Amino acid sequence: MRRPSTLRATVLVSALGAFCAFVSALITFTDGRSLLSSSLGLGPADGGALANSLLDAAYSTLESRAIISLVTVVVIVALTIAVRGGRTAARIGLTIMLPVAAATWVINAADSGVPGLLRGLDGLATVLAIIAVVLIWLPPNNRYARERKALREGR
């Protein structure tokens, strides 16, 4: 039995969204502080105590969001792998997890204090998550899941 192209598209789109969120979190950990400093207009000479404490608070928030994003990415990748078989339980799990993850990503995308690169990646991840949720429940995927279940049960 051949996998429907809509199921392959679901896997591709959800994996691509998770990848965008992963890259955003990775950039946050590796270069987030300097990106924040640039986006806030702080140069090396602006190293006053107030500026540093503001930068520390902003980076701490950004770092916390990145950690949450990484956790959701791990769950999404696991569910995306499971969805390849068309199982309804995996599709339900991914349908629940994608909007939860998108909610965390949209917070970064909507926050004007977040550097543009991170906002763009999180915004793209959000759009891809929405597309994946729509793709998950298209009729060819439902038929494929029913046929696979019938084969497993020996009908």
Domain boundaries, the chain: 5-153
pLDDT of residue 53: 86
CA 70, CA 52: separation in Å to the nearest integer?
A: 26
pLDDT of residue 155: 66
- The answer, yes or no, to whether residue 47 has pLDDT greater than 80, is no
Q: Average pLDDT of 113-129? A: 94
Residue 85 binned pLDDT confidence (cut-offs 50, 70, 90): confident
Q: How many Cβ atoms are within 10 Å of 125's Cβ, its own excluded?
A: 31
- The answer, yes or no, to whether residue 45 has pLDDT greater than 70, is no
CA 128, CA 134: separation in Å to the nearest integer?
A: 10
Residue 112 binned pLDDT confidence (cut-offs 50, 70, 90): confident
| H helix intervals, the chain | 5-39, 49-83, 88-110, 116-136, 139-153
pLDDT of residue 46: 59
- Chain-wide mean pLDDT for the chain? 91
Q: How many Cβ atoms are within 10 Å of 63's Cβ, its own excluded?
A: 15
Q: How many Cβ atoms are within 10 Å of 6's Cβ, its own excluded?
A: 19
Report the range of poorest mean pLDDT among 12-26, 30-44, 84-98, 139-153.
Answer: 30-44
